[in-house]
Amino acid sequence: MPRHIIKRYLPDPQKIRNHKCLRCLGPLLHDPNILHLNRRSVSGAFAVGLFFAFWPVPLQMLLAAIGAILVRVNLPISVTLVWISNPITIPPIFYFSYLVGTWVLGTPALGVEFEFTAEWVARELSLIWKPLFLGSLICGTISAAVGYVTIQIIWRRLVQRSWNHRCQRRRAARRKAVADAFQAEVEKE
């Protein structure tokens, strides 16, 4: 079952509740759904995490945590998935989102030369914020939907495979019991 695979990598729920940065959420962390591992909770956590991974704002992890608590899905998974947009992947993700936004708005993409200064960010962001945020919203929504459906399908198939293996083992055990009973009957005669 997928639950056993995921559980190995998740922190202990008590550690999450007692973490000094998360104590401010108080009773919200005691909702069992935000730490539960089932198909709904995990697929929902993928949707929340992937959605916020595409947002070009600081504190994506906090937004993902709040989103996970509000929709009552697995908190650690949703917060972890935000790291898909890390310092290495941010430029291509946001550039692609920007291109999607310009395509939807029907505006030409601007050629931007990157400088790592606050002035550059303020100047350039004022020019590209509309297509960037629209593209990020579109890409985030699509990736959330694809992530949700993919996890639902994978989880269901793994459960079906586990169920089929269990049925095969039971059938084999019954056949063996019948064969053993028949063998014992033959030996008695």
| Tally of CB atoms within 10 A around 6 | 16
List all residues 6 or more positions away from 44 whose beta carbon is below 8 Å from its beta carbon.
68, 71, 72, 73, 74, 78, 148
Rounded Cα distance, 65 and 19, in Å: 14
**Does residue 162 belong to any structural domain of this protein?**
no
| pLDDT score, position 90 | 85
| pLDDT score, position 25 | 66
Rounded Cα distance, 92 and 90, in Å: 6
Rounded Cα distance, 61 and 82, in Å: 6
Per-residue tens of pLDDT for the chain, all 189 residues: 466 666 666 666 666 666 666 666 666 666 777 777 888 899 999 999 999 999 988 888 889 988 998 898 988 899 899 999 888 888 889 889 989 999 998 888 777 666 666 777 677 777 788 888 999 999 999 999 999 999 999 989 988 998 888 888 888 888 888 888 878 777 776
**Does residue 110 belong to any structural domain of this protein?**
yes
The tally of domains found in the chain comes to 1
Which structural domain range is residue 120 located in? 2-148
**Does residue 153 belong to any structural domain of this protein?**
no
pTM, full prediction: 0.75
**Does residue 181 belong to any structural domain of this protein?**
no
Q: What Å distances lie between residue 121 and 112, 116, 148, 160, 183, CA to CA?
A: 11, 8, 33, 50, 82
**Does residue 127 belong to any structural domain of this protein?**
yes
**Does residue 139 belong to any structural domain of this protein?**
yes
